[in-house]
Amino acid sequence: MTRNAEAVLVAGACLLAALGVTLVNLAQGSSLDAQVGLTLAVFVLAFGSVFVATRRWAPQSSGLLLPLVALLAALGFIVVYRLDRELAVLQRWWILIGAGLATLLLFALRNTGTEVFRRYRYLFMVSALLLLLLPLLPLDWGFPLQGKLVNGSRLWVTFHLGGLQIQFQPGEIVKILLVAFLASYLAERQAALTMMTRRIGPWSIPEPRQALPILIAWVASFAVLVYQRDLGASLLLFATFVALTYAATGRAAYLAAGAAMFGVGGIVGAGTFAHVQSRIQAWLTPFEFYDTTGYQIAQGLFAMGSGSLSGAGLGLGRPDVIPFASTDFVFAVVAEELGLAGSVIVISLYALLVAVGFGIALRSRDLFRKLFATGLTFVVGLQAVLIIGGVVRLLPLTGITLPFMSYGGSSLVANFLIVALLARISHEERA
Amino acid sequence: MNRPIRRLSLALFIGLAMLLANVTYIQVGRGPEYRDDPRNPRVLLERSSKERGTIVDAGGRILAQSTPNPADQSAYLRAYPEGPLTAHAVGFSSVLFGDRGLEQAYAADLRSKQDVTISDLVSALLGRDLRPQSLVLSLDADVQQAASDGLGSHHGAVVALDARTGAIVAYVSAPSFDPAGLLLETSAAAGDALEADPAKPLLDRVVGETYPPGSTFKLVTAAAALEGELATPETRFPDVAEYELPGSTAVIRNFDRRSCSGGGDVELAVAFQRSCNTVFAELGVRIGAAGLEEQAARFGFGQPIPFIYDVQSSVFPSSEAFESNEAALAQSAIGQRDVRATPLQMVAIAAAIANDGILMQPYLVQQVVDADGSVTETTEPAELWRAVSENTAAALAGMMERVVASGTGTGAAVDGLTVAGKTGTAETAAEAPDVWFVGYADDGARRLAIAVIVEEGGAQGPDATGGSVAAPIARDVFVAWRDS
């Protein structure tokens, strides 16, 4: 794929965003206004800068990543704009900031490459754990950095800078840092972890000393996230850990151990935490709990069912009646207004993105980069499966974002950085 | 090395494929079920925001219309310019409470067919008009206003219809409510308040409440006697001050505790004109339970009068209830005890008598009109059944005219019209009686049958009679009808 073809596809996605805004405007009774031009300008600026950065600092990178991400971001932006124009203004800023940081990351890695992640892995692990602990800072103290309680979960940090208040979810960045650490550690200790030297009864286990850092990272991230009540993120991180360990060693025993740990954790969680129980009830029988915990899922089903094959049309449905439509339930909005056609397109785009990411991993010769690309791809793909699965009742609902589509700054920024890293990895392998 | 990564990617693709399967099942397999679920807010939100047809009275006055929503140019709001005046007759279309009244009964005509349902697509392909149709009612807003003003702040009902056709001209239940307060998503509290109101403003008293008919039931008793050839208007009955109830020490007295016409004996027509309980109690016993029950049934008692709205059945106890209890029979013959009737039932009696004995199907909607103004449907007058013979109807009409000319119902008389009727003052558990006027007015060409009921005596309280309270309301309605 040539860079020119890539540029055409990215430009097409930018035009799609502007076209979507135009359609929403027309459907909602307002005419062409500055929003159309602004959206086009922001998309061109954001994706143009990432495009130029890859051309300059990662010229051999895969040309498929950016068009897919631009398309997903365009669809997501149209939905957020359709739901809430004030949120859309913020989302536009977040797209700019995310793209800007991705550009900066490509620039920063221009000489050293992803090698820095290998070299300073313990630094990344420690900073990841510290970031995870940040939301547990007191909610109200003199220091400008404070924890924040949102919907019963301690996932947010607010940073007061003069009159400006910035909120972010450190958990989103943590997943990149932990994947980097794990890929690097596993690449180095692959042999030791693959050799099951010790035996306990019928089971072979690796040398405990070798597995210890992984166990610490597992337990720590899991414990913190459970304490913070972020089930979706803890499940996502945990599964990524297990998957990466399996990818590095090829030992199915790690999958079995991970499944067993998850099973125990799930049963204990369901028995202990009321919010886990209610999630499971709402998943299994949403209409029995219609007035309480099942309401959101039921509204999502109504929205998707009303969308049918071809959808109500952009701006012509009533997705505004779904609680948290712009974050957890973005997918249901697409399904209502663009119909099954839109649902299939969105799921297919994630499938393509996952295929491109794993393609980069499979073609990598360097073990660290192979595992890094696997982890980054897996995190994005699994996150999409978890949240869409929650919306379509394949899985219990976990409150995580749909990558590139949901409203949310931290999530957008983190996913833009993942794209930059994948681009850089694919460049390094081909250069 | 690559094999586990391939397996991981396979796992994710299986997950994504399951998402595709699930979302297809939800959107296509279960789609119609979720789309039409009554809890799906879209059902009402979308329908209510679409344009609906206009509802106008016989003179073209707008009773319900869709106006563009100022907040959303693609949506409409429903408006009821006459507010409480036509709330029970017309009904309303609410996002929260759904459709009521004509808005529900004629929803298929009133709604825009520019939805994308299969049947609408077929209609579109066949070149049919998809725009909402309008309703022209037989209701006359001026007559309606007179009826409503007559009831004033008192509880009760007035229903008036053209006896020759069944076309309803006035349909008032009081107290009423303003539909404007119930139309929106935010109307839950207003709806709860109306629901909890002890005055029951949401109750349509015309069809949904039964009252003791009191002396207006003498129309039925007289009809049974005439039909059974047990009496003519000239037949004379003993004129006593007190009628001793058979098998009982209790007595039935006339309203003023005197005899009907000074003792001796009295003609049936005079007893009817003066509403003498003593004569009709004795007449009821002479007719017998079976005869009274049969005549009541021929007027419509015992089953809902056919109508577009749900109608309560009016009650005359079955003849077994009176076996060896002639006292109860005598009381029932003057419309007391367990006899209950809706205002619609009572107007049906008057209408059948005014229409030579034949009851016409009551209706509210005269025409359905398409968006271009051409009539697509016209209600043709339809006979329901014969309630009494033509001779009996004529005899009853003559007796009713005397009631208004020089009897208890003089308050209903109107210059230029021949008015006939019967008053009723029904004892209830309450301190004050429920008072009635049931009858009709004739302008030489048309006959307007009417039933007026005022609960608990209206303004006059315990001193009220049908003649003093209900008859003047009927008079005002007749005047408005004459002048319209």
Note the pLDDT tens digit of each residue in B380-395.
999 999 999 999 999 9
Would an 8 Å CB–CB cutoff place A64 in contact with chain B? no
**Least CA distance to A393: which residue of chain B?**
B22
Nearest-neighbour CA in chain B from A301: distance (Å)? 7
Distance from C-alpha of A237 to C-alpha of A226, rounded to nearest angstrom: 12
B27/A302 touch (CB, cutoff 8 Å), yes or no: no
Residue A108, CA atoms < 13 Å, CB-side half-sphere: 13
Flag whether residue A256 sits within 8 Å of chain B, measured between CB atoms.
no
The identity of residue B152, as a single letter, is G
Highest mean pLDDT among A201-205, A363-367, B32-36: A363-367
Strand partners, B341: B211
Q: What's the pLDDT at B74? A: 66
| Separation between Cα atoms, residue A102 and residue A117, nearest integer Å | 16
Q: Which candidate from B9, B35, B37 shows the least CB-CB separation from A358?
A: B9
A409 or B255, higher pLDDT: A409
* pTM: predicted TM-score of the whole model, two decimal places: 0.64
Cα A353–A308–B118 angle (5° rounding)? 150
Identify which of A309, A318, A374 has the shortest CB distance to residue B42: A318
Cβ-Cβ contacts under 8 Å for A262 (sequence gap 6 or more)? A235, A238, A239
Q: Are the C-beta atoms of A36 and A20 separated by less than 8 Å? A: no
Closest CA to B256 of B406, B425, B409, B420: B425
Q: B70 CB contacts (<8 Å, ≥6 apart)?
A: none
H or E element in which residue B365 lies: strand B365-369
- Could you tell me if residue A74 is left (phi over 0), alpha (psi between -120 and 50 degrees) or otherwise beta? alpha
Percent of chain A past pLDDT 90, that is, above it, reads: 46
- For A273-302, what is each residue's pLDDT tens digit? 777 788 888 899 998 888 888 889 999 999
Supply the pLDDT for residue A201. Answer: 67
- Residue B16 pLDDT more than 70? yes
CA atoms within 13 A on the CB side of B138: 22
Lowest-confidence pick of A22-31, A161-170, B438-447: A161-170
Pair B210, B315: CB distance under 8 Å: yes
- Mutation target for A interface from B5, B7, B40, B76: give the one with most A CBs within 10 A: B5
Cβ-based contacts of B20 with chain A (< 8 Å): 343-344, 347
Residue pair A334/A149 in contact (Cβ under 8 Å)? The answer is: no
* Chain A environment of B5 (Cβ under 8 Å): 247, 358, 361-362, 370, 374
Quick one: closest CA in B to A296, which residue? B40
Residue B115, pLDDT > 60, answer: no
Tokens of B378: 């016209």
* Two structure tokens written together for A263: 């099973």
3-state secondary structure (DSSP) of residue B68: strand
Query: Which A residues, 119 through 138, put their C-beta within 8 Å of a C-beta on chain B?
Result: none
Q: E strands, A62-107, where?
A: none
- Rounded to a whole number, what is the distance in Å from the CA of B50 to chain A's nearest CA? 12
* C-alpha gyration radius of chain A: 22
Q: Which of B13-22, B168-177, B179-188, B419-428 has the lowest mean pLDDT?
A: B179-188
Q: Strand A203-205 vs strand B55-56: parallel, antiparallel, or unpaired? A: unpaired
Q: What is the dihedral of CA A393, A395, A398, A401, to 10 degrees?
A: -70
Cis bond upstream, residue B175 (ω within 30): yes
- A 263-322 near B (Cβ less than 8 A): 290, 298-299, 301-309, 317-318, 321
Beta carbons of B4 and A247 less than 8 Å apart = yes
Confidence class for position A171, pLDDT limits 50, 70, 90: confident
Percent of chain B predicted with pLDDT > 90: 54
Helices (H) and strands (E) in chain A, counts: 15, 5
Beta strands in B184-323 (DSSP E): 236-238, 242-244, 251-253, 265-267
Q: CB distance from A361 to chain B under 8 Å?
A: yes
**CB-CB neighbors (< 8 A) of B32 in chain A:** 305, 308
Separation CA B423–CA B215 (nearest Å): 6
Give SS3 for B74: strand
- Percent helix, strand, coil in chain B (nearest 5)? 45, 20, 35
The tokens 């996150």 sit on which residue? A383
- Taking a C-beta distance cutoff of 8 angstroms, is the pair B396, B377 a contact? no
Q: What is the largest CA-CA distance in chain B?
A: 123
What's the rounded mean pLDDT across residues A152-164? 71
The angle formed by the CA atoms of residues A348, A339 and A402, to the nearest 5 degrees, is 50
CA B471 to each of CA B355, B454, B467: distance values in angstroms, whole numbers, following the listed order:
21, 10, 5
pLDDT digits (tens, 9 = 90+) for B28-41: 999 888 988 878 88
Neighbours of B295 (CB within 10 A): 25
Are B344 and B362 in contact by the 8 Å Cβ rule? The answer is: yes
| pLDDT at position A273 | 76
CA distance from start to end of chain B: 95
Specify the DSSP element, H or E, that contains A54.
helix A34-57
Residue A225's pLDDT band (boundaries 50, 70, 90)?
low
Q: Which residue of B has its CA nearest to A381?
A: B12
Q: What would the mean pLDDT of B397-412 be, rounded to a whole number? A: 92
What is the value of ipTM here, to two decimals? 0.93
A351 close to B13: Cβ distance less than 8 angstroms: yes
Cβ–Cβ < 8 Å for A314, A24: yes
Of B2, B6, B27, the CB nearest to A305: B27
Residue B242: phi, psi to the nearest 5? -135, 130
CB contact under 8 A, A382 and B16: no
The span from the CA of B286 to the CA of B296, in Å, is 16
Q: pLDDT at residue B312 above 80?
A: yes
pLDDT band at B318 (very low <50, low <70, confident <90, very high): confident
**DSSP characters over A376-427:** HHHHHHHHHHHHHHHHTTSS-----PPTTTSS-HHHHHHHHHHHHHHHHHHH
Q: Give the contacts of A256 (CB within 8 A, at least 6 positions apart).
A: none
For residues A115-125, give the mean pLDDT. 89
Amino acid at B143: V
Task: Please tell me which residue of chain B has the smallest CA distance to A302.
Answer: B34
Chain A neighbors of B8, CB-CB under 8 A: 243, 246-247, 358, 374, 378
- Determine the pLDDT at residue A206: 73
Question: From B43, which residue of chain A is nearest by alpha-carbon distance?
Answer: A306
pLDDT on residue B114:
61
* Cβ–Cβ contact A29 with B under 8 A: yes
- CA atoms within 13 Å, Cβ hemisphere of A321: 23
DSSP string, A156-213: EEEEEETTEEEEE-HHHHHHHHHHHHHHHHHHHHHHHHHS--EEETTEEE--HHHHHH
Pick from A99-103, A203-207, B312-316: least confident: A203-207
Task: Count Cβ–Cβ pairs < 8 Å, chain A vs chain B.
Answer: 136
pLDDT of residue A1 exceeding 70, the answer is no
Q: Which residues pair with A42 in a beta bridge?
A: none
Output the pLDDT for position A399: 79
- If you average pLDDT over every residue of chain B, what do you get? 89
Residue B274 structure tokens: 């003066």
d(CA B51, CA B57): 19
Q: Which of A306, A349, A368 to mutate to test the interface with B (most CBs of B within 10 A)?
A: A306
* Alpha-carbon span A209 to A197, nearest angstrom: 12
Which residues of chain B are within 8 Å of residue A370 when distances are taken between CB atoms?
Answer: 1, 5
Structure tokens at A101: 């940081």
The string of pLDDT tens digits covering residues B178-191 is 999 888 877 888 88
The CA–CA distances, whole Å, from A228 to A87, A159, A221, A222 equal 26, 19, 10, 10
> pLDDT of B67-107, one tens digit each?
887 777 667 888 999 999 999 999 998 877 878 899 888 88
Mutate to test the interface with A, among B13, B26, B117, B121 (most CBs of A within 10 A): B26
Rounded Cα–Cα distance for residues A53 and B287 (Å): 106
Residue B474 has φ and ψ, to the nearest 5°, of: -60, -40
Q: Which of B7, B22, B23 to mutate to test the interface with A (most CBs of A within 10 A)?
A: B23
Identify any residues that bridge with B159 across adjacent strands, giving them in sequence order. Answer: B171, B451
The arithmetic mean of pLDDT across residues A108-134, rounded, is 88
The phi and psi torsions of A112 (rounded to 5 degrees) equal -80, -30
Rg of the Cα atoms in chain B: 28
Kindly name the residue from B48, B148, B176, B215 that is annotated as catalytic: B215
Best probe of the B interface among A244, A365, A392, by most B CBs < 10 A, is A392
Chain B contact for A44, CB < 8 A?
Answer: no
What one-character DSSP code corresponds to residue B305? P
Q: Is there a contact between A382 and B33 if contact means CB atoms under 8 Å apart?
A: no
Using the beta-carbon criterion (under 8 Å), do A347 and B20 form an inter-chain contact?
Answer: yes
Active site residue B318: no
Among the partner-chain residues B19, B28, B31, the one whose CB lies closest to the CB of A392 is B19
Helices first, then strands: H and E counts in chain B:
18, 19
Distance from CA of A381 to the nearest CA of B (A): 7
Please report which helix (H) or strand (E) contains residue A110, including its range.
none
Q: How far is CA A52 from the centre of its chain?
A: 24
Identify the contact set of chain B against chain A, taking CB-CB distances under 8 A: 1-6, 8-9, 12-13, 15-16, 18-20, 22-24, 26-28, 30-35, 37, 39-42, 45-46, 72-74
Indicate if the pLDDT at residue B338 is higher than 90: no
In the predicted structure, residue B117 carries a pLDDT above the cut 60: no
Residue of B nearest to A354 (CA): B9
Say if residue B445 is exposed, middle or buried (CB neighbours under 10 Å; 0-12, 13-18, 19+).
exposed
Q: How many CB atoms lie within 10 A of CB B188?
A: 12
- Judge: B34–A309 Cβ closer than 8 Å, yes or no: no
CA distance B169 to B82: 15
Would you call A306 and B22 a contact, using CB atoms and an 8 Å cutoff?
no
Amino acid at B283: L
Residues 6+ apart with CB under 8 A from B306: B361, B362, B384
**Range A127-154 burial, b when 16+ CB lie within 10 A, else e:** bbbebbebbeeeeeeeeeebbbeeeebb
Q: Percent helix, strand and coil across chain A, each rounded to 5?
A: 70, 5, 25
Q: Is A350 on the interface with B (CB under 8 A)?
A: yes
Contact call for B33 and A305, based on CB within 8 A: yes
- For β-strands B358-360 and B365-369, DSSP reports them as unpaired
Q: Is the dihedral of CA B163, B165, B169, B173 positive or negative?
A: positive
How does DSSP assign B6-56, residue by residue? HHHHHHHHHHHHHHHHHHHIIIIISHHHHHH-TT-HHHHHHHHHS-B--EE
pLDDT at A42 over 90: yes
